């Protein structure tokens, strides 16, 4: 069974913050000790950990904390829960869906002599439960094909019909996330919105199948470029490669919510090739939109075999 993790941000202060911070520090120490045990043993002492994070009504999480003096208590965290996640959490709670939870401390400090903690509750649920309760579109009667090209500041979409004729193109920008010092959390929030805009646009324009560049092959090509010394290739940079692959994976994850099937094509030549240049000249498109167009055409060709 496949699982997916949702993230729910929270801010706490006072005693709750103290309890969470001490627990995080003690767990870090414990983790090092567990790793030391793991190196010496073929199995760990326990494979069924106690549930220290419990979801309650009104989307509260009751968390077991450990103070530095060894005292144990339960604190209540009320994270920010978006409307789309409320139905999912209600299903987890009332349908007795198995889940795993953990609290991650992202930042902490002192403000006005009061300790504060910023973090997130991470809840891991079965993938089928996620799709059942997070679905955006129940039916998709479309017949068109979409191709996607992902870059560091935009996502390009090209839509073609079953004959390979270009029907539409659109670009979804997130240039602000590339500014130095921009919050990583806020960046993924913006990118997430653009991904939903992309999928909603594709759905409303009749796209049934969406073709993406295969992230596994992208990784292998990156290794080839390194071995060949092609460090000037625009896909070479490791951080850029990981970033693009993460966006591709998120698109693939969200597409079923709109009734869109995702398939992959080999990305070789979709950016730099004679075929790419000829297509760009023929339709007068920019190189990124042309890459999306070429991805869609390759997908159609593969589908017709």
What is the Cα–Cα distance from 91 to 207, expressed in whole angstroms? Answer: 30
CATH number where 267 lies: 3.30.420.10
- What is the model's pLDDT at position 36? 66
**Same domain as 189, residue 130:** no
One digit per residue, pLDDT tens: the chain, 305 residues? 688 999 999 999 999 999 999 998 888 776 666 566 555 655 444 444 447 899 999 999 999 998 888 899 999 999 999 988 999 999 999 998 989 999 999 999 999 889 999 999 999 999 999 999 999 888 899 999 999 999 989 999 999 999 999 999 999 999 999 888 888 878 998 999 999 999 999 999 999 999 999 877 544 444 433 344 444 454 445 567 778 889 999 999 999 999 999 999 988 888 889 999 999 999 999 999 999 999 999 999 988 76
Final residue belonging to a domain, choices 90, 105, 134: 134
Instruction: Identify whether 262 is part of a domain.
Output: yes
- Check if the beta carbon of residue 279 is closer than 8 Å to that of residue 290: yes
Instruction: Identify whether 215 is part of a domain.
Output: yes
What is the Cα–Cα distance from 305 to 303, expressed in whole angstroms? Answer: 6
- What is the model's pLDDT at position 166? 97
- Check if the beta carbon of residue 119 is closer than 8 Å to that of residue 105: yes
Range of the domain at 158: 144-304
What is the Cα–Cα distance from 197 to 242, expressed in whole angstroms? Answer: 22
DSSP 155: E
What is the Cα–Cα distance from 73 to 65, expressed in whole angstroms? Answer: 5
- What is the model's pLDDT at position 222? 46
Final residue belonging to a domain, choices 77, 106, 134: 134
Residue 155 CB burial class (10 angstroms; 0-12, 13-18, ≥19) = buried
Instruction: Identify whether 139 is part of a domain.
Output: no
Backbone angles phi, psi at 71, to 5 degrees: -70, 145
Instruction: Identify whether 113 is part of a domain.
Output: yes
What is the Cα–Cα distance from 45 to 34, expressed in whole angstroms? Answer: 9
Indicate the number of domains in the chain: 2
Find the Cα–Cα–Cα–Cα dihedral 204, 205, 207, 212, rounded to 10°. Answer: -100
pTM for the predicted model, two decimal places:
0.76
The strand pair at 207-213 and 261-265 is best described as parallel
Instruction: Identify whether 175 is part of a domain.
Output: yes
DSSP secondary structure, 203-262, as one string: HHTTEEEEEEE-HHHHHHHHHHHHHTT-TTSTT--HHHHHHHHHHHHHHHHHGGGGT-EE
Residue 222 CB burial class (10 angstroms; 0-12, 13-18, ≥19) = buried
**Same domain as 288, residue 224:** yes
- Whats the size of the chain, residue-wise? 305
Task: Give the H or E element holding residue 115.
Answer: strand 114-126
């Amino acid at each position: 069974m496949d699982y997916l993790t949702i993230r729910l941000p929270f801010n706490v202060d006072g005693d709750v913050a103290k309890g969470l911070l001490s627990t995080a520090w003690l767990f870090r120490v414990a983790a090092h000790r567990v790793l030391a045990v793991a190196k010496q043993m073929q199995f760990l002492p326990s494979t069924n950990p106690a549930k220290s994070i419990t979801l309650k009504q009104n989307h509260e999480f009751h968390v077991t904390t450990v103070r530095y003096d060894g005292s144990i208590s339960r604190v209540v965290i009320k994270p920010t829960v978006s409307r789309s996640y409320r139905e999912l959490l209600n299903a987890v709670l009332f349908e007795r869906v198995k889940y795993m939870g953990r609290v991650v401390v992202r930042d902490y400090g002192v403000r006005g002599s009061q300790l504060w903690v910023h973090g997130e509750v991470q809840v891991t649920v079965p993938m089928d439960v996620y799709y059942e309760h997070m679905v955006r579109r129940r039916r998709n009667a479309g017949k068109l094909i979409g191709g996607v090209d992902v870059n560091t500041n935009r996502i390009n979409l090209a839509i073609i019909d079953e004959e390979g004729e270009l029907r539409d193109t659109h670009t979804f920008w997130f240039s602000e996330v590339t500014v130095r010092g921009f919050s990583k959390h806020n960046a993924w929030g913006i990118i997430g919105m653009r991904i939903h805009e992309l999928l909603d646009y594709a759905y409303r324009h009749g796209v049934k199948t969406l073709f993406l560049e295969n992230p596994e092959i992208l990784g292998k090509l990156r290794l080839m470029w390194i071995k060949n010394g092609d460090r000037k290739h625009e896909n070479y940079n490791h951080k850029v490669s990981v970033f693009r692959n993460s966006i591709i994976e998120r698109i693939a994850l969200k597409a079923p919510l709109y009734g869109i099937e995702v398939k992959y094509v080999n990305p070789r030549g979709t950016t730099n090739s004679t075929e790419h240049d000829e297509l760009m000249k023929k339709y007068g498109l920019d190189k990124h939109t042309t890459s999306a167009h070429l991805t869609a055409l390759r997908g159609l060709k593969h589908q017709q075999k």
